[in-house]
Structure 1
Amino acid sequence: MDIHVEAPRRSPGPARAAIRRGLCAGRAETGLDRARGLRGGHPDRAGRPVAGARLLRRGCRPVCGHQRGLTRSPALVRLTTRRHRIRTGHGTSGGWCGAVGVTTVPEMATAVPGSSAALRLAQTKALGPLASARNGLRRLLGPRLLHDPFLVYTASLAPIALIVAIVSGRPQDLVVVGVLSPIFVGTQAILGLIPARVRPMTPLGWSFLRLATALLYVAGLAALVGGANQPLASLYLAVVVAAAALGTRQAVVIGALASLVYLAPELARPGSDSYVALRGLALAGVSIVVAIGTRRLVMAVERTTRDLRSAMVSERRRSRQIAGMEAVSRLLVSDVATPGLLDGALGILVEQFGYHYVSIYLMNGDRAELGAQRGYDQPPEWFDGSSGIVGRAMRNHEVVHVSDVQSDPDYIAVYDGVVSEVCAPLMVGDQFLGFVNVEARQLLDRTDRDVVATLADRVATVVAIRRAREDIAERAAVFSALHQFTEAVSATLDLNRLAAVLVEATGKVIPADIVAFTILDRETGRYLLRGATDVDESMLGREVRPGESLAGRAIRDRAVVIVDHFGNDQLPASLRGVRDLPDSLGAGIPLVRDSVVVGAMSLVRLDRTNVFRPIELEAMELLAGHAALAIANAFLHAEVEQLAVRDPLTGLFNRRHFDEALERVLATWRRATPEERRPVAIITFDLDHFGQFNKQHGHQIGDEVLRSFAGVLLRRFRASDLLARLGAEEFVVVLEGATRDDAVRVADDVRIELARQEVRSDDGEQLTVTVSAGCAQVDEGDPSREQLLRTADVALFMAKRAGRDRVVAA
């Protein structure tokens, strides 16, 4: 065996050279892979070395960490490596190690002073002719012959033979050495140049041929140089040792041939001396001992090399796993766990570790849905945890590692050739977020289990962070929408306008196909539909009774009502038949302010599978609180507004509102064309002897009479008519679209109805109250407020002068 490592210092021993060979190979591959962003060489999916290893094995490598000191500018430093192989009887084994040489290109390379590169450059210059000769020899022989062990063995015997020939003093010995050495060394060189693919025999047979060539060379030297003493017979040991380095069979065969060749001439010659045979036997014994020792040493070196290589492979695999997990971690923390990000993480697993089928499933409700996958053609879209190895992991929330899937009863085959499977749950505390599943066509060991479990932990953390971000973003969006909702509903205090604003603003906070608001009518105590999505205006104002529909149930129960199957039969009685409503999802939310239910909010989703999320349920209550406050404010504003324009005793409009309203009526009448003008009549009422009535019966009875008369007016006149109290006992009514005669007739009806009202004094005495009225109509010649009121007052005065309790027109 010959282990050749080219270095500037002495050649190390076989064991040290083998160890250095493995370490150097690992360092070279690791350095290249680090240059590619990895932590150790590794094969790709097709089993080929990665780009770094292929680059190094082609004889070149980029500048790496341990070549610090070489700079790229203004010079280019080229680092070259060469192969060094251990050859056995079964061909080449053991790999390679790099001997790094530094060459510079003029005007393109430089080295930092004091660095290792500068030291190597200085050593190269100091060697001078020796280095030039060595480089010339390398160029002459080439890498194949320079590292051919058979040529090296054979060529190394020639100087020994030459020295013996010189010492023997026989000129013919020099001639023999000079003739045989070129012949056999050249033969070895020619055989060494023949490529393995065109050799006519197996590697074992080829090794026997090369060893036989060396044996013949030694036999010729032993027979022809040094005379009868055969001083070069000891060279047989070198051939036997070389054969032992290659293999046991080579050692046995070549050792036997060497002994036979050495002893055959003596044994075949009659009368040969016994000392020759004894010397041959001793030489054969020594050859056997040396061969055995050499073979044992070579086997020990090979075993050490295999162990070292195995350790290096394990360490390199561990480094790849660490590098892969670091790459996955960097990728995962770079952004939220989107499907594209998860797919990239799985891509790293496939490329770094060679896993064939990798998938990530995330929980959505009560089942896990596919988040990302690599390797599958048609992966399952979801799992419910009821079966398979995946189901076991989902149920137990523990890592499941199955080395042989065929022996596991829970395994469900998706692809042929799967050998092992690892399924790791995504857990954050006690929360199960999903799982990572790996199926491979090779055996997955404990290390792979740890890798998948670590990946699952990191993916779980990222998924939890993503969901937390989504929840925060969702809450921020809801609160932003709530802020806009509050601003929108606070912008109006008009109750009719408020209902439409509530409907529009609510739909922006909680998406729904139908949004409706039912609001309390304080005068009647009924709940009326005030606003809704896609509802004709004629439907507005219809009553919703407590207990019916979503709003009615929410009003009755004072709690949020969720109905999974909401249809036509559950609509309010007043709204049935308005539209065809499919089986939907509905929600009713009461609007409560100061313990008073001021209304209800109804939300309907036509897609009943689109359930209300927890954040939406929370937003419903917030919306209800803001809406109830807005409605209460509208009620309060309406009260204040009524106090400003109405008489607090009778509830009729006061003098200020009446004057403004009458001006608007007359302005409209004046703007209309003569053909479009409608008649406008006015009636003034004055209670007869009301001052004396107050003095005689008291103001409380007087106030009761005023309220009673106001009630008569409200019942008798239309809602479109303008009713007002002008003074203490004076009232006025403006009738649009009515003539003076119409006014007289209605005023007389009011007079008669008032006379029928029962008014009693404090002692129970029946009191009679009468009223006088004056009627007038807008004068086309002078359609002013002053003229109309003056005419009505004249008519009223005439009624008073005529004896009161009558109606007069002017």
Structure 2
Amino acid sequence: MSATWPDGADVQLGEYGPCFHTLVQHASDIITILDSEGIVRYESDAIMRVLGYRPEELIGTDPFVLIHPDDVSATHDLFQKVVRTQGMSTTSRFRFRHRDGSWRWLEVIATNLLDDPGIRGVVINSRDVTDRQRAESRLRDSEQRFRNLYAEAHRQAQELALLGEVRTALAHELELSDLFRTVVGAIARTFGYTLVSLYVLENNVLVLQHQVGYDQVPERIPVTKGVSGRVVRTGEAVLLADVRTDAAFIGAIPGIISEVCVPLCDEDQAVGTLNLESRDGVHLTDADLHLMMALSEHVNVAIGRARLYTEARRSEARFRALVQHAADIIIVQAVDGTRHYISPSVEHVLGYRPEELVGNATDLRHPDDQARAHHFFADVVAHPGEYRVTELRVGRRDGSWGWFEVTATNLLTDPSVSGIVFNAREITERKHAEDALRRSEASLAEAQRLAHLGSWEWHIPSNHITWSDELYRIVGTTREELDASYEGYLACVHPEDRLRVEGIIEHALVTREDYEIEHRMVGTSGAVSTIDSTGVVLLDAEGRVAGLRSTAHDVSDRKRLEEDLRYQAFHDGLTDLPNRMGFVQRLEDALLEEPRSSQTVAVFFLDLDRFKVVNDSLGHLSGDHMLVAVTARLSALLRHADTVARFGGDEFAVLLVGHITLEEIEKVARRIVEAFHAPFVVDGRELFITASVGISLQSSAFSEAAHLLQAADVAMYHAKAGGPGGYAVFDSSMNTRAVEQLELETDLQRAVERHELVLHYQPKIELASGAIVAVEALLRWQHPKRGLLHPGAFLQLAEDTGLIVPIGRWVLGEACRQARA
């Protein structure tokens, strides 16, 4: 394995470390060396496997031209920072162009070794993390979709709550002044709108009925002025996203940004306005406009109804006039079903003239409602002076059916009436709206199910908690199993999270601030789920804390994915052992603990001898099976507290921590070496391999993980030098020998081009004739400092570094040249 510098001279991986060749040969990561100008001076063979480039294609080039345009500036700046700081090591992630034109995400570690005489460059260790990057991106996209769905569902829930509160107010038939106050307050409270007002038309002047949030607001607005006046005149709602764009905006309140103004109508006539205004940079949208229009429909019904009731109470004469012209159908009926009176509105509503129905008992009720209507009528008859309310379908002349809300009052004992009075108001559109609302609520429930989004609401005065169906599913419990109280909710919170959750909720109730917390829930079966809970404090009409409403997003899958990704980042995919990152993390933790515990920290570095022969001859699958078998054998030898890790290829590491002596540590090393004497059965074959072990111990000179790993690595190669299947404990002399070997290797790299290699010849003589019949060419190295060196001093090094090929080529060429001469 060799690379080429730009000037054409050969350079080998060994130039950068005594053991670099073996490490690089088996490394799954790309190892690159850049000079201070950012030019590639060395590229490992892994570049071909990961990015498709041959090493020689990139050596001597500027690699930054292959970095994605969006990443190149930051990456170049980071490289310059590393170059300026000797010994600095930093990490980064960026996109790099594959030879096929695609982009691959690389995670790199850059280390400045420019001052290291054996390296003289910035060492870049690169790993392809494209799949991990995509997984993280998909996770972020998924979370964003869940958040968007939650926001939409939350708004729908708010709208439903607001419409429900307004419908409740309508059901209680509040006075108009009370209704207006309820509507304005509910809008401001539910959605947090800061400026809400309601005006009613009186003699061509809009008069303020109620407002929330204003320090000052016009009490009266002529219909000829302002946006409100225009809405009353045209009967059309207005949304001003930016009030500066509309000249009609009065601008009486400084700082207003947006306005929504919708008409309030009674019998299709504008009789007032409902207004929203915003400031502090908040812009109102179409969603706010549509919500206000929906609310105005409810208020319109209340205005018409309240007006009718108010006028009816003022005088009997007015009542009779109102009955004659009411939109509702009013009927006076005898016990036998005969109608004595029916209001003129029946013709407009049902298409029948009053005289067609008076004096008979013609049944107009829907067949499916007959039984319910019969029981309803019997109940009314049985309770004189009382009223009952029901809903049923009534047939029109044209054959269609309409829904009506029927209020029946038993006035049989009232001599002025002597009958049962029915007030029938058509609610067909309302029923359709309710059906649509039910479908919307069902869609919301389905959206919550799909988004894993549940909710709960706590009514503090009654200490009752209502859970959504989806929350029951998320937690894994049922209505029957749940204590529907606050204490019951806390009982479902994971015991380790309970105090934290309770504290955050109590703080929210005191400060009235929203909160968000992630915690675990425990279902009836003991299954644990993780939820992201967001809570809002609810206030009553007097501004007192009345309850709490919270959503609960099921993030269990995301948490499991995060845990899986975290596990994969620190473990080897083949053996499930800790990988280099996981091993270094445990080693660093042990080194931090050592000063307090006075324990010994020992690192073993193992390399399998001749594993490449197994891998190349039997294939990578058998090689993988061999590595799994080695893992099982190593794990069985060590204590549960010890750590076995696979660094990649056939390299393993062991971490021993405890009150152990050097003698005990060497005993473990011998046990490991001896364990490899027994054969491994792989795919039905018995295979023999050995392991060389290097050992380093924590000391004042080796107090960092990197130092201990490097020392163990050096010791391992020292052990290999003594033959396969041995071990060695690191001492300082090994560094000296390593440096000497590095210097000799460096000199050997230049020996050919400097013409330092020479050939000596030894003749072969035929004994019978005494003639020279051949000569042997003997290689010598005329080292400039060490003198004439025999092959035993450098041939093994040439074989280890791959220089044996160019040296052999030179020997053949030189011998032939001299023979010809």
Name the TM-score class by shorter chain. Answer: under 0.3
* Greater share of helix: 1
User: TM-score, structure 2 length as denominator?
Assistant: 0.26
* Greater share of strand: 2
Whose Rg is larger? 1
User: TM-score, structure 1 length as denominator?
Assistant: 0.26
